[in-house]
Amino acid sequence: MSDPPAKSRVQPEAEAEAEAEPPSVLPDELITEVLSRGDVKSLMRMKCVSKYWNSMISDPRFVKLHMKQSARNAHLTLSLCKSGIDGDNNVVPYPVRGLIENGLITLPSDPYYRLRDKECQYVIGSCNGWLCLLGFSSIGAYRHIWFRFWNPAMGKMTQKLGYICDNVLGLYTHFKFAFGYDVSSDTYKVVLLILDEARNRSNVLVMSLGNNLWRAIQRFPAVPLPFRYSDPGVNDGVYLNGSLNWLALRDSFHSNGVYGWKRVDAEEFVIVSLDLGTETYRRFMPPSGFDGKSPVEPSICILRDYLCFSHDDKRTDLVVWKMEEFGVEESWTELLRISYQNLQSAHLDFVDLQYSQWLPLHLSDRDDTLILANKQERQAILYNLRDNSAVRTRISDKVEWFSAKVHVESLVSDILKVSAS
């Protein structure tokens, strides 16, 4: 019998050498990209894998990359009213995708989400994964107000900050609050508007987190809406790229009961934008297609990182405009026009929809679904842009939809000391 081929004789040796070779290693850039798509809870566990992973996930550059990726999987902070008497509320950040895809939902009743245990009553705003919580207590003729800042994904919360002793609130004076991030100085700020209805003016105070001091800045150059007092966090300033923005009226506004604003012409409406870096104002006109004749109050919101303006049109449609280039009035373009007939539900009359205020909450990138709040309904509306269909959310809890805030998970662990990359 002839000897076997030489190739066969050397094959075991070649296999042994191949087995001895180290396995291929993924490039650092690919590992970073994959991990940046994870949720905060998983990433906190992954920090225990190795010192290298711990260092990478803790790096400020990774924190910013992760926050950018998280924006694609946004949450809504859903406020559950447990008691309207003492402000006993739960606030649960719930993924938008879960609202769109799931059927009947019961939100967790975990004490972790209870605001009373945090000595707070309301959510003022959300920015970079942090929620700004408002708390207050009354002692005699005075009311003490404070804030706490909470990152629910990280389980981080500050002490009480920004104490205000209030002895002027009454029938003709109200407070408004807003929360945002000053990109230029890498600082978070709380803005307080003190509305003096009797004098028809608004004083403004700003607190920068870190120094915990209130500073007066230039008066608000208009009258913010809603004019009369509402629960903190409802229809207040919206944050976009280092600015806070309010819908307002240009000049003096004479109240005629709760609905006095209906007598105002379209030309009186204005959007006021506060640059959190320079702490100066700009004023923008609403889109020219808005005639202001509707009895339904318009609103502003942020959809897909654009400043948007929504209003009723002739009591037949809800129209949403977006400002393509921030600050440029000529860049207003019609984003959506939705017929009230397509929003109709079995338990509401068509007239109710015509006279009810609508607030767009979120526009999903992947699902082409607009989430809307309506003051006459206990459920939010999921409007599908592809087939113009509308369904109601199926949540068994009583949610204050007009108080919902878009929230993005983040790894920012210390809001009082933010590290710039």
Which tokens sit at 368? 């082409």
> What whole-number distance in Å separates Cα of residue 311 and Cα of residue 234?
17
pLDDT digits (tens, 9 = 90+) for 115-169: 999 999 889 999 999 999 999 887 777 778 899 999 999 999 999 999 988 765 5
412 within a domain of the structure (yes/no): no
List the Cα angle 373/377/380 in 5-degree steps.
Answer: 40
Query: Shortest CA distance to 354 belongs to which of 381, 376, 385?
Result: 376
45 within a domain of the structure (yes/no): no
Which tokens sit at 388? 């113009």
> What whole-number distance in Å separates Cα of residue 178 and Cα of residue 108?
27
Number of domains in the chain: 1
Query: CB of 417 within 8 A of CB of 211?
Result: no
- In order along its 421 residues, the chain shows pLDDT tens digits of 445 554 444 455 545 444 444 444 677 788 888 888 999 999 999 988 889 889 999 999 999 999 999 988 999 999 887 655 555 789 999 999 998 887 678 888 888 999 999 999 889 999 999 999 999 887 777 778 899 999 999 999 999 999 988 765 555 567 889 999 999 999 999 999 988 777 777 899 999 998 889 999 999 999 887 655 454 545 579 999 999 999 988 876 545 444 444 556 788 899 999 999 999 999 999 999 888 777 788 899 999 999 999 998 888 899 999 999 999 999 999 999 999 888 875 445 554 555 677 899 999 877 689 999 987 778 899 999 999 989 888 887 788 888 899 999 999 988 876 433 2
- DSSP calls for 191-241: EEEEEETTTTEEEEEEEETTTTEEEEESPPSSEESS-S---TTSS--EEET
44 within a domain of the structure (yes/no): no
| Residue 355 CB neighbours (<10 A) | 13
**Any residues with CB less than 8 A from the CB of 19 and at least 6 apart, and which?**
none
> What whole-number distance in Å separates Cα of residue 236 and Cα of residue 176?
7
pLDDT digits (tens, 9 = 90+) for 264-296: 678 889 999 999 999 999 999 999 988 877 778
Tracing tokens 């719930």 back to the chain, one arrives at 94
32 within a domain of the structure (yes/no): no
> What whole-number distance in Å separates Cα of residue 381 and Cα of residue 355?
16
Compute CA distances 208 → 182, 185, 188, 219, whole Å. Answer: 9, 10, 6, 18
**CATH at residue 378:** 2.120.10.80
pLDDT at 258: 45
> What whole-number distance in Å separates Cα of residue 297 and Cα of residue 285?
16
20 within a domain of the structure (yes/no): no
> What whole-number distance in Å separates Cα of residue 80 and Cα of residue 122?
11
Using CB atoms within 10 Å of the CB of residue 229, give its burial: 0 to 12 exposed, 13 to 18 middle, 19+ buried: middle
Query: CB of 28 within 8 A of CB of 36?
Result: no
Estimate the share of the chain in helix, then strand, then coil, as percent rounded to the nearest 5.
20, 40, 40
pLDDT at 291: 82
| Residue 154 CB neighbours (<10 A) | 18
396-411 burial: b if 16+ Cβ within 10 Å, else e: ebebbbbbbbbbbbbb
User: Residue 29 carries which side chain, given as an amino acid letter?
Assistant: E
> What whole-number distance in Å separates Cα of residue 109 and Cα of residue 260?
40
pLDDT at 261: 47
Which tokens sit at 275? 């640059």
Tracing tokens 């318009």 back to the chain, one arrives at 298
Task: Give residue 275's domain range.
Answer: 63-407
Query: CB of 74 within 8 A of CB of 96?
Result: yes
Bridge-partner residues for 143, per DSSP?
A: 138, 166
219 within a domain of the structure (yes/no): yes
Total-model pTM: 0.86
Compute CA distances 368 → 93, 129, 365, whole Å. Answer: 21, 24, 6
387-393 contact pairs (CB < 8 A, 24+): 388/338, 388/339, 388/342, 389/342, 390/342, 390/343, 390/344, 390/345, 392/345, 393/99, 393/105
122 within a domain of the structure (yes/no): yes
29 within a domain of the structure (yes/no): no
pLDDT at 173: 62
* Half-sphere CA count of 153, side-chain side, radius 13 A: 29
